[in-house]
Amino acid sequence: MLASAIIVFREVLEAALIIGLVLVATKGIAGRGRWVMLGIGGGCAGAGLLAYFAENLASLAEGTGQELFNAAVLLVAVSMLGWHQIWMARNARSAREAFQALGRSIHAGEKTLRGLALVVGAALLREGSEAILFLYGIAASESRSSVRDMVAGGLGGLGLGAVCGAALYFGLLRISPRYLFAVTGTLIGLLAGSMASQAAGLLAQADWLPTLADPLWDTSGVLTRGSPLGQLLHILIGYDDRPTGIALLAYGITVGLIFGLGRAVQRRATRLT
């Protein structure tokens, strides 16, 4: 039971943290609950479908269907995060104005909500389908008592993931509103970098991109990626104890573009007023 709880927890943690972050980033935008729920519902339904068709997907594109599909899903999420970040920079000239700006432009807010709902859905799609396949494997093969264990473990893992997402949400909300948007903005930019480096890794795995240096450095003696903290940092800011060149390059380009464009847009908006 504990084993399945841990495995389900690991799969849902990423989605839970992303939902927590998105809920903070969209605080004050009318209709955010509806859109985030839509993202969660759509992501879960998609995860079920993806688990069902996993076999077919695996055999596509000379056996690289999984990598290419997951990389595409990640890159859609990265572009939505980047778009949200730049939208925020244009609409909120200063952190203090952010809340008011969001309250005012309900119509415009809906657009960025749609994008972030897609980010939530994408996270659930990828991680949820793995959790479903894992649980299905137990249900299909083992005795009735172990199925009961699996259900308990699965729910436990899901609950624990939800607690982590909620902890991130309420933890971030304790930050003074003056800095909150700067903090969530930074987190969203780094999350996008993390996803982009994952996508680059998958494309290297599919042999579409070169790996470049592997590894660039080794900090597994300080903090392994598999440890709880390492895993948390891996999801949120893209920590890797032995990063490849291509992953770092994708990370740098994404984070640089998002923060660079965000700053340029913000500067222009300030000059116009």
- Chain contacts with another protein (rule: CB under 8 A): 3, 7, 54-55, 58-59, 63, 66-67, 130, 133-134, 136-138, 140-141, 201, 204-207, 214, 224-226, 241-242, 244, 247
Name the amino acid, one letter, at 146. S
What is the nearest approach in angstroms of another protein to the Cβ of residue 78? 18
> 192 and 42 in contact (C-beta within 8 Å)?
no
Which of 128/185 has CB closer to another protein? 128
Secondary structure (3-state) at 31: coil
The candidate with the shortest Cα–Cα distance to 67, out of 198, 190, 163, 249, is: 198
* Euclidean distance between CA atoms 75 and 200, whole angstroms: 9
In angstroms, what is the C-alpha Rg of the chain? 19
What is the nearest approach in angstroms of another protein to the Cβ of residue 224? 8
Which of 31/210 has CB closer to another protein? 210
What is the nearest approach in angstroms of another protein to the Cβ of residue 131? 10
What is the nearest approach in angstroms of another protein to the Cβ of residue 21? 23
Residues with Cβ within 8 Å of residue 154, at least 6 apart in sequence: 4, 5, 8, 131, 135
The candidate with the shortest Cα–Cα distance to 13, out of 194, 165, 241, is: 165
Which of 186/205 has CB closer to another protein? 205
DSSP state, 227?
S
Which of 197/266 has CB closer to another protein? 197
Which of 8/16 has CB closer to another protein? 8
> 20 and 103 in contact (C-beta within 8 Å)?
no
Which of 132/187 has CB closer to another protein? 132
What is the nearest approach in angstroms of another protein to the Cβ of residue 85? 27
What is the nearest approach in angstroms of another protein to the Cβ of residue 201? 6
Count Cα neighbours of 150 within 13 Å in the Cβ-side half-sphere: 17
Name the amino acid, one letter, at 250. A
